[in-house]
A and B are shown apart, each in its own frame.
Chain A
Amino acid sequence: MSADPGLAGQTQSLPAPRTPELVLATRAGRAAAAVVRISDRGARIVVVTIALVWHLAIGLPAVLANRAELTLPQVVIGGWLLVAVLGVIAGGRLLRDAPLPAPPLAALLLTVDVVVFAAVGRSQLFGPANWVWGGLAWFFVVVIWRQPVRWIFALLAAHACTGITAVVCYGAIAAADLARATMALYGTSSLPAAVFAGAATLAALSRDRAATAATTNTMVAEREAAERARRDRHERLALVSAAAGEVLTELAQGRAEPTDPQVQRRCAHAAARLRRLIAESDDVPHPLLHELRAAADLAERNGLRIDLVTIGNPPPLPVRIRRKLTDPLIAVLADARDWARLTVVSSSDEVEVGLVTPDDGRAPTDGGPAAPDGVPVAADGGPATVSGGLVTFAAAGHDANGPPSAHGEGQVEHLYERDGKITWTQTRWHR
């Protein structure tokens, strides 16, 4: 929120608006994808293991034992080797969550399917050496993992067509052969299809659940942030009311006289606090310097010659600490005449702000209630001492109105001094 009046009336090119729904959907989608990746890892291990173990422990011994009966044993064994290599590579990538080029791999498996059926020969068509009947379907599952479910059915259908075509081409069309073929196809396809469809369903469910949870969390977080922003605005409004409300009310009711210098000073002070509150909500690299500059600008516009010298960069400080550092100076600055010197010296664990103004003997309006002899009393209850025309008070960082400062926030010391020539206000924060 920037309330800088200088921006009014300027046209600004804004980036394309991102709807809240879009933002939520993107975040939820990312979270859900991560959950799915983790949740179907078990299923992936199972299918890769089944495919390779079946291929090695059941397919290979059968092929080797019956290779004498095969029409083209080299081709059948070559097909087995090719699928074994493909299975190891594809399985490894699947377990490492690396992407797989599904269409070419599926096409390669179907080609091997056709070639092995052609090379296996009539005698081993239904024999154990024809390893593609039972072993190939699990490799389909491995290479098309996470594709839509229709892929597995399409591949199994193509595999069935190949098998039936081979059965017909080999002339094995007796009722018993067709029954065997049907049994073989059903028996070897139903389980991979079920595993694939089940895993896909589980993944979809966990994706939905995770997306819902992520969306809910995001909405809760945004609601809390909005609530906090609203609270901050309320607090700010209360502060602003305290700063300006009283004097404005008195002016409106005619109880305060605009020509009265005291009233003018109170107005200047209220304006300075308003300016500071506005500056506080600006998003700038060094908010403390920004707030002090805002106060200095205002003082300058009110005809004060002001020197603002900063050395070093202040560390990020919570707004409570910044207010403690700047409030006493802003009060004195609103009251100052003629000239002022505002200095900030910062290091990573210490910030010292100093303000020197001419001492014209008037009691400060907001150094707390002025004693009869014009001696200020610290607003936060610090002891005031008077010695040889010098008025000093020091206050350490306890805050009578606020909660005790959080651990590690450090504390703010406040010193005020006047000697008849200058008033010297100093605030110091240290870790």
Chain B
Amino acid sequence: MDADALAPVTPERPVGVAIVDDHPVVIDGVRAWLATEPRLTVLATGDDPDEVLRAAPTADVILLDLRLRGRLVLDKLAELSAAGRRVVVYSEHSDPPTMLAALDAGAVAFLAKHEGREHCVATVLDAAADRPYVAPALAGAMVGDSRPDRPVLSDKERQALLLWFQSMSKASVARRMRISEHTVKQYVDRARIKYSRVGRPAATKAALLARAIEDGLIRPEEIGIYRSHAATDWPTP
């Protein structure tokens, strides 16, 4: 595992981003979105993950198009995540199975391409800080997950995910559930953290879990076994 890859991002140092996509026009678009945020700087772009990383070995976050030259690169994604690279996947394939497969392989976040403009900056910032970020499309994929080995979500977590997926407005979800926006985010993030324990092991998942414990999002004893938290929905409004 590359020791530098999981170096904590400090406020003084801007977040280095590498963009891997085989369409120059998409790279330009993403670059334009990220340029609106001074805390982000694009270090390298290209259509080959290895070349891009050689050009920018210190990149904190890699934005990876899941389909490169006509092939889904889930294996490359797993390899990068196992090596401790924070990969944010963005793809026009926003079907639930693909999104969940990307999470299993260790992607720290998944953006559907149509969500990019709105959610891209926030996702990259959260990814750099090892914090979960769940865009609405991914929330929908988690709600609809019917795989037998899926994580057990509590009723509140599921409701928060569903309403977030439907409305794309955490304020509306908070009103509907009669809780604070902060608590809505906690429910959504807790659901996301539960997904860090399925699929292939990856350094990025360990980092997400560690930060979740640090932030008080989950308790250390909750790691390792699944329990439904329906009985004790403990984020408080």
**A binding-site residues for B, Cβ under 8 Å:** 307, 309, 311-312, 341, 343, 345-347, 352, 354, 356, 390, 417, 419, 421-422, 424, 426
Contacts and interface: CB of A to CB of B under 8 A. Distances in A.
Contacts of A390: 175
B203 to A, nearest CB: 30
Contacts of B96: 311
Nearest to B112: A309
Contacts of A309: 94, 137, 140, 165
Q: Which 10 A-B pairs have the closest CB atoms?
A: A354-B166, A311-B144, A312-B144, A343-B166, A311-B140, A356-B167, A424-B167, A345-B143, A311-B96, A345-B144
A307 B114 contact: yes
A356 B144 contact: no
Nearest to B173: A424
A54 B175 CA distance: 93
Contacts of A345: 140, 143-144, 162, 165-166
B228 interface: no
Contacts of B166: 341, 343, 345, 352, 354, 356, 424, 426
A345 B145 CA distance: 11
B141 to A, nearest CB: 7
A352 B172 contact: no
Contacts of B146: 312, 347
B176 interface: yes
Given A417-B176, A419-B172, A354 B143 contact: no
**Candidate in A311, A417, A422 with the most chain B CB atoms within 10 angstroms:** A311
Given A311-B143, A424-B172, 9 more contacts: A312-B144, A346-B144, A347-B146, A390-B175, A417-B172, A417-B176, A419-B172, A419-B175, A422-B172
B40 interface: no
16 contacts: A307-B114, A309-B137, A309-B140, A311-B140, A312-B146, A341-B166, A345-B140, A345-B144, A346-B144, A347-B144, A352-B162, A354-B167, A356-B167, A390-B175, A417-B175, A417-B176
A211 to B, nearest CB: 49
Contacts of A356: 166-169
Interface in B131-176: 137, 140-141, 143-144, 146, 162, 165-169, 171-172, 175-176
B191 to A, nearest CB: 14
Nearest to B165: A343
A225 B145 CA distance: 40
Contacts of B172: 417, 419, 422, 424
A390 to B, nearest CB: 6
Interface of B: 94, 96, 114, 137, 140-141, 143-144, 146, 162, 165-169, 171-172, 175-176
B118 to A, nearest CB: 12
A351 to B, nearest CB: 12
B130 to A, nearest CB: 28
Contacts of B143: 311, 345
Given A390-B175, A417-B176, A419-B175, A311 B169 contact: no
B53 to A, nearest CB: 33
Contacts of A311: 96, 140-141, 143-144, 165
Nearest to B141: A311
Nearest to A309: B140
B140 A421 contact: no
Contacts of A417: 172, 175-176
Contacts of A419: 171-172, 175
Contacts of A347: 144, 146
A243 B169 CA distance: 33
A429 B193 CA distance: 29
Nearest to B166: A354
Nearest to B137: A309
A343 B169 contact: no
A261 B143 CA distance: 39
Given A307-B114, A312-B146, A341 B168 contact: yes
Contacts of B171: 419, 421
B92 to A, nearest CB: 13
A352 B144 CA distance: 11
Contacts of B144: 311-312, 345-347
A378 to B, nearest CB: 17
A343 B96 CA distance: 13
Contacts of B167: 341, 354, 356, 422, 424
A421 B169 contact: yes
B169 A422 contact: yes
**Candidate in B94, B165, B166, B169 with the most chain A CB atoms within 10 angstroms:** B166
A419 to B, nearest CB: 7
Contacts of B141: 311
A97 to B, nearest CB: 47
Nearest to A342: B166
Contacts of B140: 309, 311, 343, 345
A8 to B, nearest CB: 33
A356 B144 CA distance: 19
Nearest to A311: B144
Nearest to A307: B114
A422 B173 CA distance: 12
Contacts of A426: 166
A430 B172 CA distance: 23
A424 B167 CA distance: 7
A85 B59 CA distance: 92
Contacts of A422: 167, 169, 172
Contacts of B165: 309, 311, 343, 345
Contacts of B176: 417, 424
A68 B23 CA distance: 108
A223 to B, nearest CB: 43
A426 B96 CA distance: 22
B81 to A, nearest CB: 25
Contacts of A343: 140, 165-166
Contacts of A346: 144
Nearest to A426: B166
